[in-house]
Chains A and B, each alone.
Chain A
Amino acid sequence: MARTIFEKHSPGRRGFTLPENDVDYRLDDCLPQKYLREEDVHLPEVSELDVMRHFIELSHRNHFIEKGFYPLGSCTMKYNPKINETLVRNPGFNFLHPHQDEDTVQGALELLYELQRDLAEISGFAQVTLQPVAGAQGEFTGLKIIRAYHESKGNHHKTRIILPDSAHGTNPASVVLTGYDVVEIKSNARGMVDIEALKKAVDENTAGFMLTNPNTLGIFETQIREIAEIIHRVDGLIYMDGANFNALLGIVRPGEIGFDIMHYNLHKTFSTPHGGGGPGSGPIGVRNDLVPFLPTPLIGKKGNQYFLDYGHQKTSFGNVHSFYGNFLVNVRAYIYIKMLGAPGMRRISENAVINANYLMKKLADLFYIPHQDIFCMHEFVASGKWQKEKFGIRTLDIAKRILDKGHHAPTIYFPLIVPEALMIEPTETESKETLDDFINSMREIAAECESNPDIVKQAPLHTPVRRVDDTRAVRELDVKFTW
């Protein structure tokens, strides 16, 4: 157990010093007493070494990509190149202030301008905003654009957004935040959009349709043309959740096959680190006639000068960020795109798809895989259904046992339409040896389910802590340390 930093407190100990204050103004001269804090702020007093030891100790209690395989479906846990980290740590980037004049940030604007263009090129859209700082904020931005589009046309009767039951939870949550109603339709037996169900759900009130493609089962939605026709017939827009874009680089350009809007997850597809939960970046690409509704500013270019383009301010729906999005995350994605280039883009997706199909094939005799008759794209969904039926072992137990084998667990219990789901995404950066090693672990676990089910039910045994009681975390809520 790691003690908290507060338990390392020793009064008077210092981890930081400032130079002497060289101007002579006293607190009491500056501020009336009534504004001043009465008690000292409560923070630990520790040395720099105490701090380093503490956080290094914590770091040892995490799984991370450089330590081992991270097959989290829908999360695209690919390797994060170190060159990104080195190059962003440049005062010419991290010591820029958002209120600086444009002529003092020409390098930054050029980079952002090119990133807008490259992302648009890769996806086949007309323009891209780099403002949304996360995938969920990207979805929200896309939905605001749908709303602005309908308002501009006087489509005030449009109140509904349709989405399939395999959608990410953020989709319906973003729809509600935009003020639309959610209409959920069932997927068909093959895990894809049920065209008949869609037709039934669509009417004049339909504002748009959100679809993840490849969908959350890792299957490419073949009937995009039909879907687009159905939605466009009532003047609805189709939004693509780009969480799974790692499958399509250089293979399919969503902007050319019927999608009107899409968000990118730069922290998935374009290698920027997940950071334990952020910062990410969720830019949006749109077709030509939707450009006027994008947030402001875009990055523009006139002659050799780059500038913050507020030209469409009157038609823009507004903003989701005070400035230009997660700039330093965008710099990392830019580096990655430039290093891979066009052939590299395609190679990423090819290898991501090959790795996923290889794993699916090799695991098919060990675990139930509902849609193995269809080649998957970059990920697939297996299920612990057999193990549950035969041995009473849940997918949660299997996931915890995977941790014991030194891998991170796949995404579990999602999508909701597959019972006991194990959603597996290997990514292109993993080698065949790593995949084989994972396959071996899964074989061992499948065997243990039969021969020694208790060890699986008790897992994990070899992690920094054993199975964590999260019901107690809710029941006896303890969200801050008392010291």
Chain B
Amino acid sequence: MPFISNTDKERQEMLQAIGVKNFHDLLVNIPEEFLYKELCCLEPGYSELEITRKIKSLAARNLSLEQVNSFLGGGIYDHFIPAAVDHIIQRPEFHSAYTPYQAEVSQGTLQYIYEYQTMICDLTGMEISNAGMYDGASATAEAILMAARKTGKYRAVLSGLINPCYRDVIRSYTEGIGIELVYSSARDGVTDYINLRDLCNSSTACVVVQSPNFLGYIEDMEKVRDTVREKGSPLFIAVVDPISLAILKPPGTYAADIAVGEGQALGNFPNYGGPLFGFLATRMELARTMPGRIVGATVDVEGKRAYALTLQAREQHIRREKATSNICSNQALCNLAATVYLSLLGKRGLQEVARQCLSKAHYLAGRITQLKGFQMVATAPFFKEFAISTTISPGIIIKKLKERKIFPGIDLERFGFNRTLLIAVTEKKRKTDLDELVSALQEVQNG
């Protein structure tokens, strides 16, 4: 049997040492009627060679982004990942370690989490980051829970242009404790700030705005901040794209109270949507209301620098039903990938990635909108992604371009935006890739 060490002989020796004749004798505590007498209806075991064939043939039935010219985004992005990232995360020292509860033999994990926290703080301009969340959606949901805990208020006002894939998750996480969710309307591709302000009242715990928003447009976060201040200062939660923070103002500079977002773009492949990881950072004043793990620097008994999990009195394994969250892990390996990625790219590398995304997206938007039948949905500035309105149904465009191995973007119809295509551009795109999309769109338009 693969991966099981003991032979039948050793098994028998052990049973003897235990003082029973056979395995069945060890089950005396289980009522006989509960024992499953048959074999589960599973395929018989595959050898390593056979499973390799099977898995490769399954993978071959997928069309990977590596085989197409893809412009899919919507929160999950195909940025280039340097080879060294995967070499580090597949080290068993990292991937087959447990949660770093025994600090003395987990300094490797603890230190990279500390470095991860530092980088997230430096990117977002916040004072404290946790060790990471499951994904951007649950990070946003938990930020709202934090705000409710801090303010004792149970109404959250959200921009109608936060990622619609987050909405359902946010509702799942907040409805149980009775938080009312209110979404603002949009105007010219960005949040309707007046509507956002009007929705805030004295029982509002927080205002949540994403920038760049789901349609790719950059929100005026300073205007949001002023709005919030006018309305009795509910907490301001900013949902941000970490790559954009290499060139865009970080949440700390516009006085956001909590910064969250999807971290996948930092060194993690799209993975068919999972694993991902969320980041969550805040001001020191809110530290004790945070969910999840936090690593702190300290010393050992000899005074040597060392790291340990800290502020654990917030967490479920200590506080049980009074914990700030039920989360009991992070997505540690994904956080490690992000830490290695940011170390490799460094200040200049991340800036270049962001600039190339920006300039290539603008080149493409410029070319597409010169075509008949395609228009930007708004005039607001954007970063690496933009929504265009089309005269032909995006479903038809996607279908036709698939034959040419182009994924032109996401059809936003199911998110309530008719005849709208969301196009994302990363630094991986060459001018020829962008031009190929433009001519394909032109051909579709010409019928």
Contacts and interface: CB of A to CB of B under 8 A. Distances in A.
Contacts of A37: 245-250, 253
Contact of A279 (B305, B333, B346): B333
Contact of B295 (A6, A403, A479): A479
Contact of B381 (A26, A35, A110, A134): A35
Nearest to A55: B88
A375 B23 contact: no
Nearest to B72: A97
Given A278-B331, A468-B298, A93 B272 contact: yes
Given A104-B402, A351-B4, A374-B29, A279 B334 contact: yes
Interface in A136-153: 136-137, 139-140, 144, 147
Interface string A306-336: 0000000000011111111111110100010
Contacts of A338: 43, 45-46, 51, 54
Nearest to A135: B328
Size band of the B side of the interface?
35 or more
B248 A169 contact: no
A136 B329 contact: yes
A480 B355 contact: no
Contact of A275 (B20, B58, B64, B333): B333
A354 B169 contact: no
Nearest to B126: A480
A291 B33 CA distance: 26
A16 B82 contact: yes
A6 B115 contact: yes
A236 to B, nearest CB: 18
A63 B138 contact: no
A431 B249 contact: no
Interface in A47-96: 48, 51-52, 54-56, 58-67, 70, 72, 75, 77-81, 83, 85-87, 89-96
A140 B40 contact: no
A390 interface: no
A383 to B, nearest CB: 18
Contacts of A468: 103-104, 298-300, 306-308
Contact of A358 (B18, B88, B300, B313): B18
B259 interface: no
Contact of A2 (B107, B277, B431): B107
B223 to A, nearest CB: 10
Interface centre among B62, B178, B318, by most A CB within 10 Å?
Answer: B62
A473 B36 CA distance: 50
A189 interface: no
Given A64-B96, A177-B173, A324 B272 contact: yes
A202 B165 CA distance: 38
A72 B96 CA distance: 13
Nearest to B57: A107
Contact of A169 (B4, B36, B82, B323): B323
Given A18-B353, A45-B346, A133-B274, A361 B19 contact: yes
A327 B59 contact: no
A464 interface: yes
Contacts of A469: 298-301, 306, 308
Contacts of B11: 351, 354
A4 B105 CA distance: 18
A188 interface: no
B271 interface: yes
B230 interface: no
A18 B357 CA distance: 12
Interface string B404-447: 00010010000000000000000100110010000000000000
A453 interface: no
Contacts of A2: 107, 111
B310 A470 contact: yes
Given A220-B30, A327-B274, A480-B128, A4 B111 contact: yes
B270 A97 contact: yes
Given A96-B64, A251-B35, A466-B302, 16 more contacts: A38-B253, A63-B102, A77-B96, A93-B59, A94-B269, A95-B269, A137-B326, A176-B177, A252-B34, A274-B95, A318-B168, A327-B273, A329-B274, A335-B51, A403-B104, A474-B296
22 contacts: A16-B345, A37-B250, A63-B97, A67-B93, A93-B59, A169-B316, A173-B321, A177-B173, A252-B35, A273-B333, A278-B332, A320-B173, A321-B273, A322-B163, A326-B275, A342-B42, A409-B102, A464-B107, A466-B104, A473-B297, A474-B296, A480-B121
5 closest Cβ pairs, A-B complex: A92-B59, A323-B273, A98-B273, A179-B176, A341-B45
